[in-house]
Chains A and B, each alone.
Chain A
Amino acid sequence: MALFGGFILLLPPASYGQGKNTCLDCHAVLPPPLEVAQEQFARDIHAEKGLNCASCHGGDPSNEDPLEAMSRAAGFRGKVRRAQIPALCGSCHSDAAYMRRFNPSLRTDQLAQYRTSGHGRGLARGDTKVAVCTDCHSIHGIRPASDTRSSVHPLRVAETCARCHSSAEHMKGYRLPTDQFAAYTASVHHEALVQRGDLSAPTCSTCHGNHGAAPPGVASVEFVCSTCHVFQMKLFDASPHRAPFAAAGFPGCVTCHGNHRIARPSDEMLGTGRDSVCLNCHSPGDAGYQAAATMHEQLKQLESAIARAQEILDRAERSGMEVGESRLEQAQARDGLTKARVTIHSFTLARVQQDIQAGMQVAEKTYQAGLAALEERDYRRRGLAVSLVSILIVLIGLWLYLRKLESRAAGGATG
């Protein structure tokens, strides 16, 4: 502790402005593992805030003489041991009063959280293979998490975790799988994050916590998912699945949707088809089986009703009819379908049917509107027929008239 106290004493003089830093003079050109790239350190957040090498490693950076600069007298610590890194970082980051000087809104409970995490507990047991602060945040080029260059920016968290958790060699000896990253990259959450750029989409730390990282227990899975998927949880809680799942120790949402390889849900997950998850528990003939089959069928019915209405509106529009109003209403039918797909989680046929019915009504209405538009088109064709008939009469009349004209002239001349 005295050593750490020594570090804190050294900090104030080095707070503002870099001052002289002889450490980098050598360490910038030394080979790894002693190398500290100048550019790396230049963008480090600690360096930006005015800290330097001595803040963590001790020593005297203003001294040209390496023997003196890196002496015990100057408080030099050298390379910090892995087991001591969390405490070292925490010596500043857990001091709320101190951190307020640099970033008043930055949290200061990271160390406390870390101690509750799988990593923290492992470290406490003496396992140094677990992650410590520098494994995720990097050592000399630390950026705030909001910076896209940071290894803990939401877009990069998963690959940072995967550095250890996907390595079979590193994870040897732990009873943990190593396929999470591969599964996650195939998931819809990853797609939302990386392809659609939605930074609110979950990554490893969203569900597991970042500093207090640990897998959510079976009982807490639904709470974790429901931070975003509120409706589904509320419906599930009131559903007939809740009690049996709890009794059987099933992990809520994960039971059907998986934990890492969460695919985009499709209607085929419901019902009695090949990809149905219902069949994992339900057998043909039981009440659940029937309900699943009915719900699936109703979803399909609504989908095809919407498609049918869409097709007829398209046809009418291609014939030149105005169907804008009906197209707008179609959106409400699709709303019904979207809502029904959420209401599925009540696992109660009546609830699902409510939304399906609302959608069906609208689809039927727009279908009728499409039929009416085609009627109008047929009316036009009848009008065309009328004008064609009158044109035909004129043509016949003209022909007869001409014939009379020319035969009379011939006849009259000879008569």
Chain B
Amino acid sequence: MTRDINSHEPAKAPDRVGRQPARRRVVEFLLGGGLVASAASFLYPVLRYLVPPPQADLGSDAVVAARVGELRPNSGKVFRFGQKPGLLILTAEGEYRAMAATCTHLDCTVQYRADLHQVWCACHNGLYDLNGRNISGPPPRPLETYSVHVRGEEIIVSRRPAARRGTYPLAGPGAGS
């Protein structure tokens, strides 16, 4: 009289046929349905995960700041650069400049003044030139400048390599980036 648990064998007793299928079907339905549902709830996130997000990550050191044609000459735009704001300027001469947009005085967001051709902070009247140098008012330090490259229709702003970070653009468009 062993009580070994044998593997499942098809029902032999004929008098059980009537009752078995209904019960069996419920259990099988439950199990099968549950397995499918749970598998779906695992697979669905994985499949969505595999699809890359629309905004391909360029890393923390470069972002797409604007598209060509978005800025008029002698105007500026505040864009997001990592966790901080950045300022992209298209000068009257047609050159792109980019720098951090957080004022070094008390962290207000600076803006481009088309009438002054300079970067201005509205909080305490700080002024920076187009190279980010603090030239007037309370700001104690210059704004960090970034490199700008035009790639097709996109304007990419990226951090300068560490060695060049303290230097300013040498002259004119295209030089020193």
User: Closest chain B residue to A403 by CB distance?
Assistant: B27
| B85/A331 in contact, CB under 8 A | yes
Report if A200-B108 is in contact (Cβ < 8 Å); known contacts: A328-B85, A393-B34: no
| A387/B38 in contact, CB under 8 A | yes
| B42/A397 in contact, CB under 8 A | no
Determine whether A87 belongs to the interface, using a CB cutoff of 8 Å to chain B. Answer: no
| A396/B30 in contact, CB under 8 A | yes
B31 contacts across to A, CB distance below 8 A: 394, 397-398, 400-401
B84 contacts across to A, CB distance below 8 A: 328
Q: How far is the CB of B132 from chain A (nearest CB, A)?
A: 18
A230 contacts across to B, CB distance below 8 A: 125, 137
The 8 A CB mask of B1-43 against A (1 = contact, 0 = none) is 0010111110111000000000110011011111101101110
Determine whether A95 belongs to the interface, using a CB cutoff of 8 Å to chain B. Answer: no
| B34/A335 in contact, CB under 8 A | no
B68 contacts across to A, CB distance below 8 A: none
Determine the distance from Cα of A397 to Cα of B26 in the docked complex, in whole angstroms: 9
Query: Which of A231, A397, A413, A415 sits near B27, CB closer than 8 Å?
Result: A397
Determine the distance from Cα of A394 to Cα of B89 in the docked complex, in whole angstroms: 60
Interface residues of A in 305-334 (CB under 8 A from B): 324-325, 327-328, 331-332, 334
Total contacts A to B, CB within 8 angstroms?
A: 100
Interface residues of B in 56-115 (CB under 8 A from A): 80, 83-85, 102, 106-109
Report if A196-B5 is in contact (Cβ < 8 Å); known contacts: A390-B34, A394-B31, A396-B30: no
Q: How far is the CB of B54 from chain A (nearest CB, A)?
A: 14
User: Closest chain A residue to B134 by CB distance?
Assistant: A200
Query: Which of A339, A393, A401, A409 sits near B5, CB closer than 8 Å?
Result: A409
A338 contacts across to B, CB distance below 8 A: 106, 108, 123
Determine whether B149 belongs to the interface, using a CB cutoff of 8 Å to chain A. Answer: no
A392 contacts across to B, CB distance below 8 A: 34
Interface of A is mostly: helix
Determine whether B169 belongs to the interface, using a CB cutoff of 8 Å to chain A. Answer: no
B12 contacts across to A, CB distance below 8 A: 412
Determine the distance from Cα of A331 to Cα of B27 in the docked complex, in whole angstroms: 59
B109 contacts across to A, CB distance below 8 A: 331-332, 335
Q: How far is the CB of A365 from chain B (nearest CB, A)?
A: 15
Determine the distance from Cα of A391 to Cα of B5 in the docked complex, in whole angstroms: 26
| B102/A390 in contact, CB under 8 A | no
Query: Which of B13, B32, B34, B41 sits near A415, CB closer than 8 Å?
Result: B13
Q: How far is the CB of B119 from chain A (nearest CB, A)?
A: 15
Determine the distance from Cα of A284 to Cα of B39 in the docked complex, in whole angstroms: 72
| A342/B3 in contact, CB under 8 A | no
| B80/A334 in contact, CB under 8 A | no
| A400/B125 in contact, CB under 8 A | no
| A391/B27 in contact, CB under 8 A | no
Query: Which of A231, A324, A327 sits near B124, CB closer than 8 Å?
Result: A231
Determine the distance from Cα of A335 to Cα of B24 in the docked complex, in whole angstroms: 69
The 8 A CB mask of A121-164 against B (1 = contact, 0 = none) is 00000000000000000000000000000000000000000000
Determine whether A386 belongs to the interface, using a CB cutoff of 8 Å to chain B. Answer: yes
| B108/A410 in contact, CB under 8 A | no
Query: Which of B7, B107, B138, B140 sits near A228, CB closer than 8 Å?
Result: B138
Determine the distance from Cα of A415 to Cα of B16 in the docked complex, in whole angstroms: 11
A395 contacts across to B, CB distance below 8 A: 34
Interface residues of A in 185-203 (CB under 8 A from B): 196, 198, 200
B85 contacts across to A, CB distance below 8 A: 328, 331
User: Closest chain B residue to A192 by CB distance?
Assistant: B140
Determine whether B122 belongs to the interface, using a CB cutoff of 8 Å to chain A. Answer: yes
What are the 5 tightest A-B residue pairs by CB atom distance, in nearest-first order? A397-B31, A393-B34, A394-B34, A390-B37, A387-B41
Give me 20 A-to-B residue pairs in the complex whose CB atoms sit less than 8 angstroms apart, sorted by A's number: A196-B140, A200-B140, A229-B124, A324-B80, A324-B83, A331-B85, A331-B107, A332-B109, A335-B123, A338-B106, A339-B108, A391-B41, A392-B34, A393-B33, A394-B31, A396-B34, A397-B30, A405-B5, A406-B5, A415-B13
| Known contacts A228-B138, A328-B85; 4 further A-B pairs (Cβ under 8 A) | A196-B140, A230-B137, A405-B8, A408-B11
A interface residues (Cβ-Cβ under 8 A, vs B)? 196, 198, 200, 228-231, 324-325, 327-328, 331-332, 334-335, 338-339, 342, 383, 386-387, 390-398, 400-401, 404-406, 408-410, 412-413, 415
